[in-house]
A and B are shown apart, each in its own frame.
Chain A
């Protein structure tokens, strides 16, 4: 099956730090990548949709200047949480999509801001 790699798996850092999360599709070229966020005991919420070479589309309520998305190639998308604060602590999960296939999820990044 399709493999999506997400790195790092866990980050613990101080408030005010910027954190970069990478999402790579290892065995296929993803036309679109998605970023989701999951708070404890809640469901996944879509944050943004990312297409290679174009600006990401953010969901309502998600600050584009805080959550910077770069989609440099068909196999790599990055999410940078800028000036992270404790309320940004969450489980961030990416998914990769190619035409005709369901989305495949990475293993997620657990972000803890102290």
Chain B
């Protein structure tokens, strides 16, 4: 049974601070890792993808992957109120496989 675990939150972070979101996964053959942002009532929006160990930066977002620890994280720098949403961690075995999602972390950025 593939599982992706996230702390459901809510995680409250002051505006301008760094928000740190964490995710662990159970399937060791997982190859592709994604962070999606989902606003209430909307479909997920891709924020970051990461495929190899280490850090990947894109603007204010940094994804970190540690396959040995089966751990993925997302850092959001200079958090803005518009970043308030549910962040979903998703993994798959690569390519054309369906995604296994975590339950999501509800992030609240306090002005």
Smallest CB separation, B50 vs chain A (Å): 10
Q: Is the CB of B103 within 8 A of A43?
A: yes
Cα distance A102–B45 in the bound complex, in angstroms: 11
Interface size on B, residues (CB 8 A): 22
Q: For B46, list chain A residues within 8 Å (CB).
A: 102-105
Which stretch (B14-22, B52-60, B63-71, B93-101) binds chain A? B93-101
Interface size on A, residues (CB 8 A): 25
Known: A43-B88, A44-B44, A93-B43. Contact between A59 and B98, CB under 8 A? yes
Give the contacts of B59-91 with A (CB-CB under 8 A): 88, 90
Main secondary structure of the interface of A (DSSP, over half): strand
Whether A99 and B95, one on each chain, are in contact in the complex, defined by CB atoms closer than 8 angstroms, is: yes
Q: Decide: B102 and A43 in contact? CB cutoff 8 A.
A: yes
Chain B contact residues, CB within 8 Å of chain A: 32, 34, 36, 41-46, 49, 88, 90, 95-104
